[in-house]
A and B are shown apart, each in its own frame.
Chain A
Amino acid sequence: MMKMTKQTRRDLITYGIVIVFYIVMQLLDLAGILSFHVKGLLVPLCYYAIAAVALNLVVGILGDLSLGHAGFMCIGAFSSSLFSVTLKDSGFPAGLRFFLALLIGTFFAALFGFLIGIPVLRLNGDYLAIVTLAFGEIIKNILAAVYFGYDEEGLHIAFKSFPLQGEGKMLINGAMGIQGTPTDSTFTIAVVILLLALFIVQNIVRSRTGRAIMSIRDNRIAAEAVGIQITKYKMTAFTISAAIAGTAGVLFSHNTTTLTATSTYFGYNVSILILVYVVLGGIGNIRGSVIATAILYILPEMLRGLSNYRMLIYAIVLIIIMLINWAPAAITFREKYGISAYLARRKENRTPVSDMGSGKGGS
């Protein structure tokens, strides 16, 4: 049962890293060291990390390239904001309202993930990437063009502005988006949701479902031959991933009062940004996604002082991390001299010779 404990320990370390980061940030905040600007980065950092964990389930575990995850964030953001804005002035308790908003955003993203998954998951590789990209753009563009409101005559939805009859309110105002979402997202809630996302994805990977998903990634034909239902497990992975991305979207929309479906927030460049976090953190490495997001999200913000050179340095860092992570020579070097190799050597040296023979029995 050595394996169980080793894997469980790995998972626990991931939660530990997030919790330690949270505590350190809280302490720095108490000590008054954190600037207003840095504090404003903490919630975005969390929702990008959540989105990266979600995307890693599709890219790393299922082995399919999706470039549409910003679209699922967009659905989570808009559906939950709509709910929160509607209930804002009704005296509904804020805590419960946000909790329900999280559920609603997650549910609608999951629903769309499922519906989009039906046609999309029939494709493979590059084709799948392009179609998911297209779906992401469609979602963003529809939400940027739609007008949705209510008045005395009931609910109205249209693709051009319309006058409201008497008492009423425009909920989604075309390109102006949704105004006045309550800013319910806090760093604490964001960290809790990040931990939850990690918990879900890591436990899936360790389960029967995760093995089925990974077997499809490694060899689809063999997976089918041992009785794995390909469509079922592809849909499971894609839907759960979309759902988690939707939750990240809820955190996003409840972090600012104005929500607009612009490319800056929900375009394919955002999907690619999240993919960069996943790739640099290590495809299939859930913990790596979180760490890579933290480094790559904070870095350009820290470099603001260097103005023009900022993106240049960011790009160079990207290249360096990529080389360190994936260059064959670097991998060999790591295997020989890396931390885990060092620890393994130390353990070997410490273990008395007489124990070596019986080592297998204990595992």
Chain B
Amino acid sequence: MAALLSVNHLSISFGGLRAVDDFNVEIEKGALYGLIGPNGAGKTTVFNLLTGVYKPDEGRIFLGDRNITGLSTVEINQAGIARTFQNIRLFKDMSVLDNVKVGLHNRYPYSTLAGILKLPVYFKTEKEMDEKALELLKVFELDGESETLSKNLPYGKQRKLEIARALATDPKLLLLDEPAAGMNPNETGELMDTIRFVRDHFDMTILLIEHDMKLVAGICEALTVLNFGSVLCQGQTSEVLKNPEVIKAYLGD
């Protein structure tokens, strides 16, 4: 079976700096895959390349059989990649429910005119969207706060809402950029359960960037370690974490 995501020889330079150099990865459907590395290793740049924020200088990205290299962010989202952000990016002056409904935008279409005139299709579609959004919020135990402005949610719940919003676009692959950043050990433990649950419940493939080694060791089945933009080591989590090269990159000589 072909991998869900295959990335071949991906490279990008900013000025003279080769931020990502010959990055390769194959992720099977249903995998929980980790991308780790010291600060500045180019992890988030890889995410930005995968989601079309940056166009790669070299290399190709396949989602299933489809070549998505060079597509726009919107097209890539519609092809089936959704993401969260390292520094949370919610629609902060919109309600929790509306945040998810923006995620549902492309799956429940009706015209602007139908919205202005409040045609029957408006009420029908909005009702379906409300139901779908609440169903998603329920999974993350946010349904009780659907009316709250998202900026007023506590930090941990904001992280969850961002995942819920990403899932609303019905992706095949979910990219999580440091989901545990700023969380205490309790919250991180809860987050690990949530991520596992998302994978099983939605039959999702997940690629995540993380610094929290407890989380990485706890839930990722396989890892790629980046250092200075290139792949240092790739393989099963337990083996990668024992690799002396990796330990050296993290802890120094």
Contacts and interface: CB of A to CB of B under 8 A. Distances in A.
Interface in A200-244: 200, 203-204, 206-212, 214-215, 217-219, 221-230, 236
A37 interface: no
Interface residues of A, number: 33
Contacts of B205: none
A227 B74 contact: yes
A81 B243 CA distance: 79
B101 interface: yes
Interface in A289-346: none
B166 interface: yes
A207 B144 contact: no
Given A207-B115, A236-B112, A227 B85 contact: no
Q: Pick from B91, B114, B129, B165 the residue with the most CB of A within 10 Å.
A: B91
Interface in B103-148: 103, 105-106, 108-110, 112, 114-118, 122, 125-126, 129-130, 144, 146-147
Contacts of A204: 112, 115-116
B195 to A, nearest CB: 19
B90 A226 contact: no
Contacts of B158: none
Interface stretch (B33-41, B76-84, B207-215): B76-84
A222 B130 CA distance: 21
B147 A208 contact: no
Contact of A226 (B102, B117, B129): B102
B18 interface: no
Given A200-B116, A203-B118, A225-B73, A208 B92 contact: no
A3 interface: yes
B116 to A, nearest CB: 5
Contacts of B115: 203-204, 206-210
B116 A212 contact: no
Contact of B89 (A1, A221, A284): A221
- Name the prevailing secondary structure of the B interface residues: helix
B94 interface: yes
A122 interface: no
A355 B106 CA distance: 39
A92 B101 CA distance: 49
A215 B102 contact: yes
B169 interface: yes
Contacts of A199: 116
B105 A208 contact: yes
A360 interface: yes
Nearest to A200: B116
A208 B73 CA distance: 20
A221 B90 CA distance: 10
A236 B117 CA distance: 16
A200 B114 CA distance: 11
Contact of A211 (B82, B105, B116, B117): B105
Contacts of B74: 224, 227-230
Nearest to A219: B89
Nearest to B93: A218
B94 A225 contact: no
Instruction: Pick the most buried of B94, B116, B117: most chain A CB atoms within 10 A of its CB.
Output: B116
A225 to B, nearest CB: 6
Contact of A207 (B73, B97, B122, B130): B122
A12 to B, nearest CB: 13
A227 B169 contact: yes
B97 A3 contact: yes
Given A211-B98, A212-B102, A226-B102, A218 B90 contact: yes
A227 B78 contact: yes
Q: Which of A203, A227, A230 has the most CB of B within 10 A?
A: A227
Interface centre among B51, B115, B165 (most CB of A within 10 A): B115
Given A226-B77, A226-B105, A214 B112 contact: no
Given A210-B115, A214-B94, A223-B102, 10 more contacts: A1-B130, A3-B95, A4-B126, A207-B122, A209-B112, A211-B94, A212-B102, A219-B90, A225-B85, A226-B105
Interface of B: 51, 53, 73-74, 77-78, 82-83, 85, 89-95, 97-98, 101-103, 105-106, 108-110, 112, 114-118, 122, 125-126, 129-130, 144, 146-147, 165-166, 168-169
Interface of A: 1-4, 199-200, 203-204, 206-212, 214-215, 217-219, 221-230, 236, 284, 360
22 contacts: A3-B97, A3-B147, A203-B115, A204-B115, A207-B122, A208-B125, A209-B112, A214-B94, A215-B91, A218-B92, A218-B93, A219-B89, A219-B90, A221-B53, A223-B91, A225-B73, A225-B83, A226-B103, A226-B165, A227-B105, A227-B169, A228-B102
